């Protein structure tokens, strides 16, 4: 698990998160355009100071996510509505359960203390994690939010393994099959990109198993072939 902090403004929060990472056996910390990391960060890190020392700094989120298969963004703002597929959240415990057997690299992305993640940064996330809290005061401190999510991730380590999930190669192939299906039905070009993105987000949230992947691929393949054969007989 890679922990990515985007634009943190207070070094104390960075240090506190490094301490939490040490508490819950996480090591990989990446900082995107962070504030200056100084004595206060190390004081807050305590025995997690080695994580601060090993943290990697990047100029963009894209660079920080290099090599990651699944990207989970955190957001304190949830917009309701069926059409808002890009911001459908899951609570920390459900997220932790869904990724506990992943063999691929996962990134947990936390945004700025004041405004969180920008829209283009949110668009790079496959799933969203939201911590249920009071409607009157829903925004948590950055390090507190990180602590809750890391605790849930840590707590799933000794549970019964889930079915093996589809890997990155299989998911990318499934996305290509879906786009082939859109081609086969002459799906309107003006809506194609948005629909393909919606499908990616949906499958990112569901995290299909290999069995589910094979079933879906069979349906897509048969449907696309049937449509092409039907057009060939016209």
pLDDT one-digit tens code per residue, 162-208: 678 888 888 888 888 888 888 888 889 889 889 989 988 888 887 88
**pLDDT grade for 160, boundaries at 50, 70 and 90:** low
- Kindly report the pTM of this predicted structure: 0.69
At residue 87 the predicted structure's pLDDT band, cuts being 50, 70 and 90, is low
**Burial degree of 226 (CB within 10 A; 0-12, 13-18, 19+):** exposed
Domain closes at, from 93, 125, 155 = 155
Show the domain range for 202.
168-232
Please determine, for residue 107, whether its predicted confidence score (pLDDT) is greater than 90: yes
**Same domain, residue pair 176 and 62:** no
Confidence of residue 120 (pLDDT cuts 50, 70, 90): very high
In a domain, 223, yes or no: yes
Domain-terminating residue out of 127, 155, 183 = 155
Lowest mean pLDDT among 21-35, 56-70, 205-219: 205-219
**What are 205's two structure tokens?**
């949230």
Rounded Cα gap, residues 136 and 79, in angstroms? 16
Q: What is the pLDDT of residues 140-150, one digit of tens each?
A: 999 999 999 99
Share of the chain above pLDDT 70, in %: 91
DSSP-assigned states of every residue in 3-72: EEEES---HHHHHHHHHHHHHTT--EEEEESPPP--HHHHHHHGGGHHHHHH-EEESSHHHHTTT-SEEE
Check which CATH number belongs to the domain holding 21 and give it: 3.40.1280.10
Q: Are residues 146 and 196 in the same domain?
A: no
Q: Is there a single domain that holds both residue 208 and residue 184?
A: yes
Q: Please say whether the beta carbons of 52 and 27 come within 8 A.
A: no
23-27, 76-80, 181-185 — most confident range: 23-27
> Residue 79: what pLDDT?
57
- Quick one: pLDDT at residue 195? 92
Residue 89 and residue 31 share a domain? yes
Tokens of 47: 């025995």
Instruction: Work out how many domains the chain is built from and give that number.
Output: 2
**Domain-terminating residue out of 155, 188, 222:** 155
Same domain, 113 and 208: no
Residues 18 and 125 reside in one and the same domain: yes
């Amino acid at each position: 698990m890679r922990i990515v902090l985007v634009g943190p403004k207070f070094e104390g929060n960075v240090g506190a998160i490094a301490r939490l990472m040490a508490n819950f056996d996480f090591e990989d910390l990446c900082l995107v355009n962070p504030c200056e990391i100084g004595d206060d960060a190390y004081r807050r890190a305590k025995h997690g100071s080695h994580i601060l020392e090993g943290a990697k700094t990047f100029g963009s989120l894209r660079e920080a996510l290099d090599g990651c298969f699944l990207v989970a963004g955190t957001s304190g703002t949830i917009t309701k509505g069926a059409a808002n597929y890009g911001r459908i959240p899951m609570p920390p415990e459900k997220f932790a359960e869904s990724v506990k057997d992943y063999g691929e690299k996962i990134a947990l992305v936390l945004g700025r203390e004041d405004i969180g993640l920008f829209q283009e940064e949110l668009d790079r996330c496959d799933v969203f994690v939201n911590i249920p809290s009071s409607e009157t005061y829903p925004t948590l401190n950055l390090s507190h939010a990180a602590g809750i999510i890391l605790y849930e991730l840590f707590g799933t380590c000794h549970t019964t393994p889930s079915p093996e999930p589809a890997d990155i190669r299989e998911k990318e192939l499934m996305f290509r099959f879906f786009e082939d299906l859109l081609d086969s039905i002459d799906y309107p070009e003006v809506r194609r990109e948005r629909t393909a993105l919606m499908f990616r987000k949906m499958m990112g949230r569901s995290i299909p198993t290999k069995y589910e992947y094979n079933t879906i691929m069979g349906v897509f393949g048969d449907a696309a072939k049937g449509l092409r054969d039907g057009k060939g007989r016209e």
